[in-house]
Amino acid sequence: MLTRTNQKNKDELSILGFGCMRFPQKGTGIDEARSIAMIRSAIEQGVNYFDTAYFYHGGKSESLLGDALSGGYRERVKVATKLPPFMVSKLEGAKKIFDNQCTKLQTNYIDYYLLHMLTDKATLDRMISIGVMDWLEQLKKEGTIHNIGFSFHGGKADFEQIISAYPWDFCQIQYNYLDENNQATKSGLQLAASLGIPVIVMEPLRGGKLVNNLPDDVVKAFKSSDAKRTPAEWALRWIWNHPEVSVILSGMGDEQQLAENIAIASNATANSLSKEELDVFEKVKKIMLERTKVPCTACGYCMPCPHGVNIPGCFASYNDKYLLNTKNNRLNYMQTQGVMSKKPSYASLCTECGKCELHCPQNISIRKELKQVKKELEGPLFKPVVAVARKIMKVK
Ligand code: SF4
Ligand code: SF4
């Protein structure tokens, strides 16, 4: 297992991290015995970064990880878990969640603690205003938290604002060859690196979509290379080729996947892909571009929209619907457009002012395309459902 050094604190982190959101299932719940065995086997083979969250597996992921790390494993690894800001309206609420997390994880310290799914700076400001960041800093001084970070699924502009607004110890972004120009983007990754902030990468395989749902011509393009690799290996190596990346989190759901990922992580060094191999990705991206509904390059020239629409983000979700044979398009769209955040950014917020179209170098009929996004990814129940959910969660 290769490691990379966290330049902030000199932690030696395994380049493969274990994402604890896709444990093997038994019936309707987690297959506990298998999951614990997989976690311990991963540790024996050098994985030392485990990422969970308050609500993964309906709140059971942290407890499972706590059980797996009992009996001497806890001290051998770094545990990352997350505070969900959208469930926190008062500091007391955050403290309760944190205590509960430590109990479930059977630990009295968290190595890497993140604000979960921070999609806009307004949410960070709200966390600051109710005292959450001061409290986290106090916990850090006391040694109860070792690193403060955030995970991110929003757009590039918000990422740039958030990462520059606080002295983060680390951040976690979605990044893979299909998302080079989506969400935080490559320039966001480079910005984090230039600020000396380690980057943990999530969704390296887009939840398995870059493995199981690839168009045939993409599979063919990979096969045309002299390097014989599975689509998963291609995707992981592309990310590890970036020296700015510290750890890739993989939500490994079975023993075979664990074994494959560990084997790849034994020799995937930064800047190791050859020109021929990088050319394969160019071919793959070209094919994907041809299947793209809206030719948005995510350049961001149309932004900011005065009504808060994340124009490139909406188009990325829309394109995915046609590019990948996936089922969770609507859910992904809701998540990435921050429907539960203070500043949601979904397509139907568009008032058709037309300002954005003046700046689009691709001459995209943004208003017309956003109507399609609304039709296909929102539908008639979207607004009432979101309104009820926001009311329940007390999001203003
Ligand atoms: S047309 Fe719609 S998306 Fe474009 S700037 Fe106006 S409100 Fe925003
Ligand atoms: S300006 Fe055009 S290409 Fe650039 S992000 Fe906006 S819609 Fe996409």
Nearest CA to ligand 1 atom 7: 350
Atom from ligand 2 closest to the CA of residue 303: 6
Per-residue confidence (pLDDT) for residue 125, from 0 to 100: 95
Question: Quick check: is 287 in a domain?
Answer: no
Residues 96 and 212 placed together within one structural domain of the fold = yes
The DSSP H or E segment spanning 25 is strand 25-26
pLDDT tens per residue across span 211-264: 877 888 899 999 999 888 999 999 999 999 999 999 999 999 999 999 999 999
Residues 18 and 157 placed together within one structural domain of the fold = yes
Ligand 2 site residues (CB inside 6 A) read 296-302, 311-312, 359-360, 362, 364, 366
Question: Quick check: is 22 in a domain?
Answer: yes
Q: What is the pTM of this model?
A: 0.80
Q: Are 245 and 272 in contact (CB under 8 A)?
A: no
Distance CA 170, CA 114 (A): 9
Per-residue confidence (pLDDT) for residue 335, from 0 to 100: 84
Q: Are 56 and 19 in contact (CB under 8 A)?
A: no
Nearest CA to ligand 1 atom 4: 356
Question: Quick check: is 198 in a domain?
Answer: yes
Query: How many A from CA of 84 to the centre of ligand 1?
Result: 30
Residues 268 and 326 placed together within one structural domain of the fold = no
Q: What total number of domains does the chain contain? A: 2
Q: Which residues contact 17 (CB under 8 A, 6 or more apart)?
A: 47, 49, 50, 51, 80, 200, 247, 248, 249, 250
Residues 325 and 373 placed together within one structural domain of the fold = yes
Q: Are 128 and 165 in contact (CB under 8 A)?
A: no
Q: Which of 213, 247, 275 is the last residue of a domain?
A: 275
Q: Which of 253, 275, 297 is the last residue of a domain?
A: 275
Atom from ligand 1 closest to the CA of residue 367: 1
Looking at residue 305, the DSSP 8-state letter turns out to be P
Per-residue confidence (pLDDT) for residue 338, from 0 to 100: 84
Peptide bond into 24 cis (omega under 30): no
Question: Quick check: is 260 in a domain?
Answer: yes
Residue 371 Cβ contacting ligand 1 at under 6 Å: no
Helix (H, G, I), strand (E, B) or coil at 387: helix
Looking at residue 24, the DSSP 8-state letter turns out to be P
From 352, 360, 364, 369, give the residue whose CB has the most ligand 1 atoms within 8 Å, as the site to mutate. 352
Residues 125 and 263 placed together within one structural domain of the fold = yes
Across the chain, which has 396 residues, the per-10-residue mean pLDDT values are: 97 98 91 98 98 93 98 97 94 98 98 92 94 98 98 88 96 91 90 97 82 84 91 96 97 95 97 94 85 76 90 90 78 85 90 92 89 93 85 75
Q: Are 51 and 17 in contact (CB under 8 A)?
A: yes
Question: Quick check: is 15 in a domain?
Answer: yes
Query: Which residue's entry shows tokens 């614990």?
Result: 36
Of 33, 113, 119, the C-alpha closest to 80 is 113
Per-residue confidence (pLDDT) for residue 244, from 0 to 100: 97
Question: Quick check: is 196 in a domain?
Answer: yes
Atom from ligand 2 closest to the CA of residue 295: 3
Residues 45 and 108 placed together within one structural domain of the fold = yes
- Domain interval for residue 343: 311-392
Atom from ligand 1 closest to the CA of residue 349: 7
For helices 216-223 and 275-290, angle between their N-to-C axes, nearest 10 degrees: 170
Residues 203 and 97 placed together within one structural domain of the fold = yes
Question: Quick check: is 290 in a domain?
Answer: no
Residues 270 and 315 placed together within one structural domain of the fold = no
Residues 38 and 101 placed together within one structural domain of the fold = yes
Query: How many A from CA of 366 to the centre of ligand 1?
Result: 8
Of 96, 101, 104, the C-alpha closest to 114 is 101
Residues 270 and 331 placed together within one structural domain of the fold = no
Structure tokens at 382: 């979207």
Length reported for the chain: 396
Q: Are 201 and 18 in contact (CB under 8 A)?
A: no
State the CB neighbour count (10 A cutoff) for residue 97: 17
Per-residue confidence (pLDDT) for residue 297, from 0 to 100: 67
Query: How many A from CA of 311 to the centre of ligand 2?
Result: 7
Residues 33 and 108 placed together within one structural domain of the fold = yes
CA atoms 357, 288, 379, 55: torsion sign:
negative
Residue 14: CATH number of its domain = 3.20.20.100
Where are the extended beta strands (E) located within 257-395? none
Query: How many A from CA of 186 to the centre of ligand 1?
Result: 25
pLDDT tens per residue across span 276-331: 999 999 999 888 877 878 877 676 778 889 999 999 999 989 988 888 766 778 88
Share of the chain above pLDDT 70, in %: 98
Is residue 278 packed enough to be buried (19+ CB in 10 Å), middle (13-18) or exposed (0-12)?
A: exposed
Question: Quick check: is 65 in a domain?
Answer: yes
Query: How many A from CA of 297 to the centre of ligand 2?
Result: 6
Amino acid symbol at 266: S
